[in-house]
DNA sequence: TATAATTGTTAGGCTAATCTAACAAATTTA
DNA sequence: TAAATTTGTTAGATTAGCCTAACAATTATA
């Protein structure tokens, strides 16, 4: 059984490597900063997790999760996201309030609890932020995320988040009927002024490149192409 | 903010003093035993809690909660019992499975969470074991509990638990339509063989003194009399 | 009431997770 | 490539909560 703290290190490593679209490994300082501790503390723990065969780590090297470590990390991420979904859907927490509480709830130890919760929520696939929820087997669809601006013309994609979190932008997003998990279809790109013509819920709209850049989406069509 | 461990000591003290119908104060060894630690450890913590003005404690004396300590203890008990209710009612945990998980959940720090949970559960007054749930103001109706055998003839009471937890007994209880929170009315006592005539859900039944002794009830009629 | 048993306390140690301060390796930049 | 900067490591200290072992106070019992 892992300690609260060990779990947090594994989760951080997961976020910094597997879930980040940039790097595949993380440095000691980076890990420390992410957890809000000093590098010396992180160093101690990295050595400990290496001994437990949960991470790959060598002196002065970068760290990654082992297969075993990844298994644990996925369990924690699953718990975190299921709790976020619960808070949002059942307890009427707002989008931005769920994270803090889920940080605590994710450490509750009870397989039965989390599987019952999953069922209670009717096996959701994404949390309120649009992040995929690993299933009970620990499988996670790492969907390629990108901005709406980068999407292919003709493709249908799903909004999973925003980059800009200002109230002004969020209200704008809302006003054209867009929200998390909404399907967006790119109808065309206006050559003249670069506006994108999109369809949301049957309604057509034209949005600026600046707007599109701040909408984060996943596209299962693109993901399929990537798999081949 | 109290630590996980400090919270557990306060909760234990609450259970051993305020909620126990016997004593009003608890000894160091007793507290240690209840928490599964050694008396030396409990001693350390009692001194610490005294410094924080959460308990009354003197060397070689018994301990009790201060007003402040009682406030915290009630918050923890409230959380514990609301979570038990959630697990039982929403996630279909059984009666005996809820406690262990609630022991963990009770330490989640979020006032908002617990108030939303309370609302979600529609402000329950008792948990699945029939124990009263403190309200958001920390008020708890300490209802006098006794066995069905001790109830007055003519009174209506509410089943809040059982003493015997054997499957055989529980099935017996079930078979006469009795369950937690069921109202039971004592119709009469048979002088000849001491059987109690009771009414549950409109149906009459006769039960033995041995049976009645193992049914725990509260009687608001009796409580009212006590208040005067 | 003296002794035995129980109950409570103290001193000193251990572990997990953190810190600071000093240092060492690796990387960047001039 | 040498110097400067960044990144990572080590040693030693701290804190919370627990332990054991020895002892002291209290309570029960002969």
| CB–CB contact A104 B104 (8 Å) | no
pLDDT on residue B224: 53
pLDDT 10s digits, B9-39: 999 999 999 987 678 999 999 999 999 999 9
pLDDT 10s digits, A52-95: 999 999 999 999 999 999 999 999 999 999 999 999 999 999 86
Confidence of residue B211 (pLDDT cuts 50, 70, 90): very high
For residue A107, the number of C-alpha atoms closer than 13 Å in the C-beta half-sphere is: 20
pLDDT 10s digits, A16-52: 999 876 789 999 999 999 999 999 999 999 999 999 9
pLDDT on residue B220: 67
Question: Which pair of tokens denotes residue A216?
Answer: 């984060």
pLDDT of A129 over the 80 cut: no
Number of residues that this document lists for chain A = 228
pLDDT on residue A226: 47
The average confidence (pLDDT) of chain B is 90
Residues of B in contact with A105 (CB under 8 A): 105, 108
Would you say B71 and B138 are in contact if contact means Cβ atoms under 8 Å apart? Answer: yes
Segment B179-186 mean pLDDT:
82
Segment B175-193 mean pLDDT:
87
**Chain A within 8 Å of B120 (Cβ-Cβ)?**
yes
Confidence of residue A227 (pLDDT cuts 50, 70, 90): very low
pLDDT on residue A142: 63
Would you say B133 and B85 are in contact if contact means Cβ atoms under 8 Å apart? Answer: yes
**Strand C reaches within 7 A of the B3 CB:** no
Residue nearest to nucleotide D6 (CA to C1'): A29
Residues of A in contact with B116 (CB under 8 A): 87, 91-93
pLDDT on residue B130: 65
pLDDT of B218 over the 90 cut: no
Q: What distance in Å separates residue A7's CA from the closest CA in chain B? A: 16
Q: At what angle do helices A98-105 and A67-89 cross, to 10 degrees?
A: 130
Rounded CA separation A27/A93 (Å): 35
| Segment holding A211, helix H or strand E | helix A209-213
- Within A90-180, where are the H helices? 98-105, 111-120, 167-175
Q: What distance in Å separates residue B2's CA from the closest CA in chain A? A: 15
Q: At what angle do helices B4-16 and B28-35 cross, to 10 degrees?
A: 120
Would you say A143 and A132 are in contact if contact means Cβ atoms under 8 Å apart? Answer: yes
Q: What distance in Å separates residue B123's CA from the closest CA in chain A? A: 13
Would you say A76 and A65 are in contact if contact means Cβ atoms under 8 Å apart? Answer: no
User: Taking the model in full, what pTM does it have?
Assistant: 0.77
Residue numbers in A 46-85, CB below 7 Å of strand C? 48, 60
| CB–CB contact A100 B117 (8 Å) | no
pLDDT on residue A21: 66
Which single residue is written with the structure tokens 């709830």? A105
**Chain B within 8 Å of A120 (Cβ-Cβ)?**
yes
Segment B132-138 mean pLDDT:
87
For residue A202, the number of C-alpha atoms closer than 13 Å in the C-beta half-sphere is: 0
Confidence of residue B202 (pLDDT cuts 50, 70, 90): confident
Give percent of chain B above pLDDT 70. Answer: 93
């Amino acid at each position: 059984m892992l300690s609260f703290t060990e779990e947090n290190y594994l989760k951080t490593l997961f976020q910094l490597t597997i879930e980040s679209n940039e790097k595949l490994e993380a440095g000691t300082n980076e890990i420390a900063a992410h957890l809000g501790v000093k590098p010396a503390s992180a160093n101690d723990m990295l050595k400990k997790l290496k001994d437990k065969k949960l991470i790959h780590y060598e002196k002065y090297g970068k760290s990654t999760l082992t297969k075993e470590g990844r298994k644990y990390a996925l369990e924690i991420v699953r718990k975190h996201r299921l709790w976020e979904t619960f808070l949002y859907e059942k307890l009427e927490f707002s989008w931005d309030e769920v994270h803090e509480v889920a940080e605590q709830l994710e450490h509750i130890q009870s397989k039965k609890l989390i599987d019952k919760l999953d069922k209670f929520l009717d096996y959701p696939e994404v949390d309120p932020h649009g992040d995929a929820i690993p299933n009970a087997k620990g499988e996670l669809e790492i969907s390629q995320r990108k901005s709406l601006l980068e999407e292919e013309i003709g493709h249908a994609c799903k909004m999973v988040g925003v980059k800009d979190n200002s109230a002004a932008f969020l209200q704008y997003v809302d006003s054209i009927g867009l929200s998390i998990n909404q399907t967006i279809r790119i109808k065309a790109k206006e050559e003249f002024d670069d506006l994108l013509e999109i369809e949301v819920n049957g309604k057509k709209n034209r949005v600026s490149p600046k707007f599109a850049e701040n909408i984060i989406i996943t596209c299962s069509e693109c993901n399929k192409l990537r798999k081949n």
